[in-house]
């Protein structure tokens, strides 16, 4: 760390001498309706820092007031998507905003804000009417009727109830709203340089069509064009999950960034020195995990270097069960680094964190990680108890008169998870009954589900148990349900209990689960990484290879900002190839990642990200 501080000091002094004639600050004229907070947000700086430069200016200065703003000093500022250097130039459909040295008055737009609202013509179902008759009457398809009325899941099975009020025709209207109303009633995002339509829609998990519909004042969104300073409406405030972190971490690289990194992995070179590759890797899960992780990390380091960042990497072989770690620590070989990635074993990670004064990144999940106490330890995989609260929160936020079943068992952990799910669901206020089913004589009869289920309502089955027999029994009951019964099965995570279930069967029950990873195979970053990995290693990347890339890239990019790693964790969530990093720290505890997704199987076996 001292080495880095010295290098940064030299860089700062050099810059001051060589660029003494450049203006550190420039003037900016306030636009109509603009606040100091708006300007600070567009400049990617803290409002209080802007006030320090302009102590005589209030929070809402008059139009045409001239203030002083910093001449931006970062050479690069982009969204927290991943840039991977490729030997071939790759064209994308998104238009990337060009970086500029200053922000002019014209770049901060003050448009007339609009919103496209959708109203519906409705129809009350009469005796004898059918889905087919109604669709013909209003010249719409059955799919459109289902889309307009998601709360009536019985439409799918052609069932209607007398008195149902159905939406049958979509009517779009564009209304004008003022800026204060926008900020009050919407989750918003101010565009900074380097961001794309894809990076925004991916982070906020919305479609491009939804973004366009909410922002008709920016017709250029249709052509994937963004402008610095645009204030975009992301979603109505009532749709915002209060437990979700919507702060978007933006990658920043200081001039002459230099990072020293130590990677501690159990390569076990001495043990394997006399063995062939086949003998080392065939059936050896640890050897494959470690090697794949390193190969992914290697591509991350190369990509970071090609963005102008100096990375000094030292690789340490921790040996069998970390037997070399004591020697590594005693020789002070890792103390001068800015960060340590590894070791692989939880007890050894605690040893390293206790004896060094830099962040120690634990690179994968361990059932023992919830006992970590060192404030220097960074857990890159979420704790399992957070999976339960994340799923419970999603169910509560999306409940619309479903019949709810929870599949449990007699294990203490399962009962604890069941209690947490019930407690969260009952906060909704509209849920009168939750059916908890446990095996009797070793299994759960299908009739115990069907006697409570109805074709008139959508049915949720939440599997809280991870027992192989209980899971298989519950899923087989769901797969064999009558066609007119609509069911969606949820799991706390896709554990090994689901590995033997055919994916087509999972898709047929709308299987939905919590995951710490989600991959968009169509994303350009994913395609570039897969291609580069294949070129270098003659195989497609495994989950551990992608994990090695994501963790290493994210840590290095955060350090490239020139800030302490722990300070960057406070600045928002980053999305890489398939991992989300949303770091939080409780007092006197290790730093934990809460980056999770809700993922659903589609009928074509593709996966959709629901949250």
Length of the chain (residues)? 611
Determine contact, residues 250/203, Cβ cutoff 8 Å: no
Q: Which of 241, 191, 245 is nearest to 221 (CA)?
A: 191
Structure tokens at 324: 């070399």
Residue 214 DSSP SS3: helix
Q: Is the pLDDT of residue 463 over 90?
A: yes
Residue 451 has what pLDDT?
A: 87
Q: In this predicted structure, what is the pLDDT of residue 493?
A: 94
pLDDT value of residue 77: 61
pLDDT exceeds 90 at position 244: no
Contact between residue 340 and residue 376 where contact means Cβ atoms under 8 Å apart? no
pLDDT of 224 higher than 70: yes
pLDDT reading at 73 higher than 60:
no
Indicate the average pLDDT of the chain.
Answer: 84
Is pLDDT at 89 greater than 60 in this prediction? no
The answer to whether 63 and 178 are in contact (CB under 8 A) is no
What pLDDT is attached to residue 91? 38
Highest mean pLDDT pick, 41-55, 180-194, 342-356: 342-356
**Quick count: other Cβ atoms within 10 Å of Cβ 270?**
12
Contact of 342 with 363, CB cutoff 8 Å = yes
Which range is most confident: 68-72, 374-378, 454-458? Answer: 374-378
Reply yes or no on whether the pLDDT at 611 is more than 70. Answer: yes
The per-residue pLDDT for range 146-166, each reduced to its tens digit, is 888 887 877 888 888 888 899
Kind of pairing between the strands at 591-593 and 583-585:
antiparallel
Average of per-residue pLDDT across 289-302: 96
Give 528-536 contacts, CB < 8 A, sequence gap 24+: 528/84, 528/86, 528/90, 529/82, 529/84, 529/299, 529/577, 531/86, 532/84, 532/86, 532/299, 533/295, 533/296, 533/299, 536/295, 536/299
Can you give the C-alpha Rg of the chain in angstroms?
Answer: 27
- Average pLDDT of span 1-6: 38
Question: How sure is the predictor about 95, in pLDDT bands with cuts at 50, 70 and 90?
Answer: very low
- Provide the token pair at 174: 């564009």
Give the tokens for residue 383: 């704790």
User: Model pTM?
Assistant: 0.76
- HEC string for 503-554: HHHHHHCCCEEEECECCCCCCHHHHHHHHHHHHHHCCCCCHHHHHHHHHHHH
pLDDT digits (tens, 9 = 90+) for 319-361: 998 899 999 888 877 888 999 999 999 999 999 999 999 999 9
Measure Cα distances from 46 to 29, 253, 356 in Å.
18, 18, 32
Peptide bond into 343 cis (omega under 30): yes
Q: Name the residue among 341, 324, 332 with its Cα closest to residue 376.
A: 341
| pLDDT, tens only, 475-487 | 988 887 887 788 9
What phi and psi values does residue 516 have, to the nearest 5 degrees? Answer: -90, 0
Return the structure tokens found at 133: 């008759």
Q: Quote the pLDDT of residue 3.
A: 40
pLDDT, residue 114, reads 77
Distance (Å) of CA 187 to CA 210, 239, 242, 396, 580: 13, 9, 11, 20, 20
Q: How far is CA 547 from CA 301, 380, 531, in A?
A: 13, 10, 16
- Looking up tokens 């591509």 gives 299
Q: Span 232-249, mean pLDDT?
A: 87
**Token digits of residue 352:** 């390293």
Confidence of residue 24 (pLDDT cuts 50, 70, 90): low
Evaluate if residue 54 carries a pLDDT over 90.
Answer: no
């Amino acid at each position: 760390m001292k080495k880095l501080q010295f290098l940064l000091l030299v860089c700062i002094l050099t810059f001051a001498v060589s660029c003494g004639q450049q203006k550190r600050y420039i003037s900016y004229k306030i636009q109509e309706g603009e606040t100091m907070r708006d300007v600070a947000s567009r400049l990617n700086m803290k409002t209080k820092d802007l006030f320090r430069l302009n102590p005589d200016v209030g929070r809402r200065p008059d139009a045409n007031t001239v203030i002083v703003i910093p001449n931006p000093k970062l050479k690069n500022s982009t969204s927290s998507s991943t840039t991977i250097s490729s030997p071939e130039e790759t064209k994308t459909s998104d238009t990337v905003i060009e970086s500029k040295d200053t922000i002019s008055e014209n770049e901060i737009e003050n448009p007339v804000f609009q919103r496209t609202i959708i109203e519906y013509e409705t129809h009350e179902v009469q005796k004898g009417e059918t889905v087919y008759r109604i669709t013909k009457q209003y010249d719409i398809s059955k799919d459109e009727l289902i889309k307009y009325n998601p709360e009536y899941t019985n439409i799918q099975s052609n069932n209607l109830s007398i008195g149902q009020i159905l939406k049958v025709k979509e009517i779009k209207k564009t209304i004008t709203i003022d800026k204060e109303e926008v900020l009050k009633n919407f989750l918003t995002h101010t565009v900074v340089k380097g961001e794309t339509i894809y990076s925004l829609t991916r982070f906020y998990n919305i479609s491009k069509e939804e973004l366009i519909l909410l922002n008709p004042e920016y017709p250029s969104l249709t052509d994937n064009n963004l402008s610095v300073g645009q204030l975009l409406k992301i979603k109505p405030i009532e749709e915002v999950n209060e437990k979700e972190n919507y702060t978007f971490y933006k990658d920043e690289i200081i001039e002459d960034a230099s990072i020293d990194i130590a990677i501690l992995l159990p390569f076990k070179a001495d043990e394997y020195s006399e063995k062939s590759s086949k003998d080392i890797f065939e059936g050896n899960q640890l050897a494959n995990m470690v090697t794949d992780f390193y190969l992914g990390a290697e591509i991350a380091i190369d990509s970071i270097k090609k963005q102008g960042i100096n990375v000094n990497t030292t690789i340490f072989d921790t040996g069998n069960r970390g037997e070399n770690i004591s020697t590594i620590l005693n020789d002070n070989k890792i103390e001068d680094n800015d960060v340590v990635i590894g070791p692989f074993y939880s007890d050894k990670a605690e040893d390293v964190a206790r004896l060094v004064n830099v962040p120690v990144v634990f690179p994968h999940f361990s059932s023992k990680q919830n006992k970590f106490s060192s404030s220097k330890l960074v857990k890159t995989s979420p704790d399992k108890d957070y999976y339960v609260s994340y799923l419970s929160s999603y169910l509560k936020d999306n409940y619309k008169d479903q019949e709810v079943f929870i599949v449990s068992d007699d294990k203490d952990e399962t009962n604890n998870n069941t209690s947490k799910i019930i407690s969260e669901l009952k906060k909704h206020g509209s849920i009168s009954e939750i059916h908890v089913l446990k095996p009797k004589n070793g299994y759960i009869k299908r009739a115990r589900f069907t006697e409570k289920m109805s074709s008139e309502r959508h049915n949720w089955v939440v599997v809280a148990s991870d027992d192989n027999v209980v899971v298989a029994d519950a899923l087989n009951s769901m797969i064999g349900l009558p066609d007119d019964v609509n069911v969606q099965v949820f799991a706390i995570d896709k554990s090994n209990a689901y590995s033997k279930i055919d994916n087509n069967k999972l898709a047929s029950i709308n299987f939905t689960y919590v995951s710490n990873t989600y991959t968009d195979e169509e994303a350009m970053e994913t395609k570039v990484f897969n291609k580069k990995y294949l070129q270098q290693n003659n195989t497609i990347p495994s989950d551990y290879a992608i994990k090695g890339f994501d963790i290493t890239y994210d840590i290095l990019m955060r350090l490239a900002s020139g800030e302490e790693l722990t300070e960057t964790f406070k600045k928002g969530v980053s999305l890489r190839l398939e991992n989300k990093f949303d770091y939080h720290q409780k007092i006197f505890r290790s730093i934990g990642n809460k980056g999770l997704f809700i993922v659903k199987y589609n009928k074509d076996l593709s996966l959709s990200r629901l949250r």
